[in-house]
Amino acid sequence: MAAVLVRGGTVVNADRSFRADVLCADGKIVAVGEKIDAPTGAEVIDAGGAYVIPGGIDPHTHMEMPFMGTKAIEDFYSGTASALAGGTTMIVDMCIPSPQQSLTDALDEWSDWASKACADYGFHVSITWWSERVAQQMAECLDRGVNSFKHFMAYKGALMVDDEIMFQSFSRCRELGALPLVHAENGEAVFRLQQALLAQGITGPEGHALSRPPHVEAEAVTRAIMLAKITGVPLYIVHTSCRETVEAIARARAEGQRVFGEPLAQYLCLDDSVYRNPDWDFAASRVMSPPFRSKEHQDALWAGLMSGQLQVVATDHCTFLLEQKRLGLDNFTKIPNGTGGIEERLKIVWHFGVNAGRLTPEEFVAVTSTNIAKILNVYPQKGAIVQGADADLVVWDPKATQTISQKTHHSKLDVNVFEGITVQGVPKVTLSRGKVVWRDGQLDVEKGAGRNVPRPPMAPMFEAQAKWNELTRPTGVKREVHIHQTP
Ligand code: URP
Ligand code: ZN
Ligand code: ZN
Ligand code: ZN
């Protein structure tokens, strides 16, 4: 593969920005500095007037996921191609064993599907049941480069786990140096509220939002945080959507817990009025869990990112066609949950974050790439423009504008929840492991070019936590043996 020299841009890392050229060869960044000479045969990309940022990492996707009686339409190829078109060069997908299924069998299945990916990827593995065998297989997942395990506190009767399983699994995560993730919604409360709404005759998509109010999320978030505290392990909360969650995370962090929060690009600019839209298709195509919230919650999520209490913006890209959404035409509880956004994430965060003065370009890089690379222990292989890192980078044009539309997106999905939003700031060129895969609106990707990126366990924060756990471990009281005297 020919070397590529990205010349004349402003490199933006999470810690600082500086004018530099970036030379990539053999899939790696081999030099970052001023006035680098182009090696013979190298391709030169002019980044004058643009930023050069680390490729985005979307740590929460569901390609091809079997869910709610159907299967997500986006496959690993179309999903990662869409990602690259939007400046995201790595995804971490949720591998979800069915209850009683072996974790490693599920990982085989997901790995097989992912072999057509054209960008790098990794997996979180879900814990949907518990046994000694599951505990053993968690270690086997570690050997296969998985260092995070997801727990669904919702979807009663399907994927939901109870406190017993969470306690066991969180404790096992602590032993292994692996990160527990939670989908935090009280599944029992959701189920009861759904039944009450249906009994009241509310069957449309508005019922979805009404059955999952913020306190359903806040209860589960608080419970998960306390279980993480009790079991002595860091915690990552996926798709954080509301003010109460931001507050619970901030409180836990102020008390010294390592808790991370992940708002979605959708939550940062779309609100719950969509569920009351008279067009059923429009409303149903926005059904996801947790649902979009009101402006008050949106502001809290932005404030969380601005203050550093929330660290990562993801998409939870999980896509169902209208025809699939219509499985719930008479009953909102049967509408497959999920929305897309993998191609739009960076543009949305830049436009509503950087252009609005909420985030600096460096903070933008932190929340779209660097922070999650650190949390998942692949930094600085990913998440930074430094010598020796993978050559995943984006020439970002802060002046160019684009109106987002389903007609021009690269997803297989037949709607785009961001339809009609005009953003300023778009990826002009994307490099994936040193190869130009997106340039001026054209994709040039290869099925299967993406690689599984192994993530080692025992990230530095686990070593720190282990020391702390040892220092604060429970101790007994030594007492003199004595004999009771009877009066
Ligand atoms: O509605 C959602 N979020 N669908 C994907 C599955 C999940 O809960 O993450
Ligand atoms: Zn979820
Ligand atoms: Zn998800
Ligand atoms: Zn006694």
Closest C-alpha among 128, 130, 122 to residue 148: 122
Cβ atoms < 10 Å from Cβ of 427: 27
Cβ 154 under 6 angstroms from ligand 1: no
Residue 291 sits in a domain whose CATH number is 3.20.20.140
Task: Give 3-state DSSP helix, strand, coil % of the chain, rounded to 5.
Answer: 35, 20, 45
317: CA distance to ligand 3 center in Å? 7
Q: Which of helix, strand or coil describes residue 243?
A: helix
**Burial of 327 per CB tally in 10 Å (0-12, 13-18, 19+):** middle
343 located within any domain: yes
Cβ 341 under 6 angstroms from ligand 1: no
Residue 199 pLDDT level (bands cut at 50, 70, 90): very high
Average pLDDT on 147-160 reads: 97
Cβ atoms < 10 Å from Cβ of 77: 23
Q: What is the pLDDT of residue 483?
A: 80
Q: Which domain holds residue 324?
A: 54-387+452-466
For the cut 80, the answer to whether the pLDDT of residue 300 exceeds it is: yes
Among 160, 208, 267, 289, which residue has the most ligand 1 atoms within 8 Å of its CB, making it the best to mutate?
Answer: 289
195 located within any domain: yes
252 located within any domain: yes
Cβ 217 under 6 angstroms from ligand 1: no
Instruction: State the SS3 of 361-390.
Output: HHHHHHHHHHHHHHHCCCCCCCCCCCCCCE
pLDDT (tens digit per residue) in 174-189: 999 999 999 999 999 9
Percentage of residues in the chain with pLDDT exceeding 70?
Answer: 100
Q: What is the pLDDT of residue 221?
A: 98
For the cut 80, the answer to whether the pLDDT of residue 21 exceeds it is: yes
Average pLDDT, the chain: 97
Average pLDDT on 98-104 reads: 95
Residue 1 pLDDT level (bands cut at 50, 70, 90): confident
Q: What is the pLDDT of residue 485?
A: 78
385: CA distance to ligand 3 center in Å? 28
Show contacts of 398-406: CB within 8 Å, 24+ apart: 398/50, 398/51, 398/350, 398/354, 398/424, 398/425, 399/49, 399/424, 399/425, 400/424, 400/425, 400/426, 400/428, 401/426, 402/347, 402/426, 404/344, 404/347
Ligand minimally distant from the alpha carbon of residue 480: 4
Nearest CA to ligand 1 atom 2: 338
Neighbours of ion ligand 3 (CB under 5 A): 316
For the cut 80, the answer to whether the pLDDT of residue 236 exceeds it is: yes
ipTM of this predicted complex? Answer: 0.94
Cβ contact 182:220 at 8 Å: yes
Q: What is the pLDDT of residue 486?
A: 76
Q: How far apart are CA 323 and CA 367, in angstroms?
A: 34
Average pLDDT on 321-329 reads: 98
121 located within any domain: yes
471: CA distance to ligand 4 center in Å? 29
176 located within any domain: yes
93 located within any domain: yes
For the cut 80, the answer to whether the pLDDT of residue 487 exceeds it is: no
Atom in ligand 1 nearest the alpha carbon of residue 155? 8
42 located within any domain: no
484: CA distance to ligand 4 center in Å? 6
For the cut 90, the answer to whether the pLDDT of residue 112 exceeds it is: yes
Average pLDDT on 130-144 reads: 98
Q: What is the pTM of this model?
A: 0.97
Strands 148-152 and 120-126: parallel
Ligand minimally distant from the alpha carbon of residue 288: 1
Entry field: residues in the chain? 487
**Burial of 347 per CB tally in 10 Å (0-12, 13-18, 19+):** buried
Q: Dig out the tokens for 72 from the structure.
A: 């997500």
Atom in ligand 1 nearest the alpha carbon of residue 67? 6
Atom in ligand 1 nearest the alpha carbon of residue 337? 1
Sheet of strand 88-95: strand arrangement: 56-61, 88-95, 120-126, 148-152, 179-183, 235-237, 259-261
Nearest CA to ligand 1 atom 3: 289
**How many independent structural domains does the chain possess?**
1
Residue 15 pLDDT level (bands cut at 50, 70, 90): very high
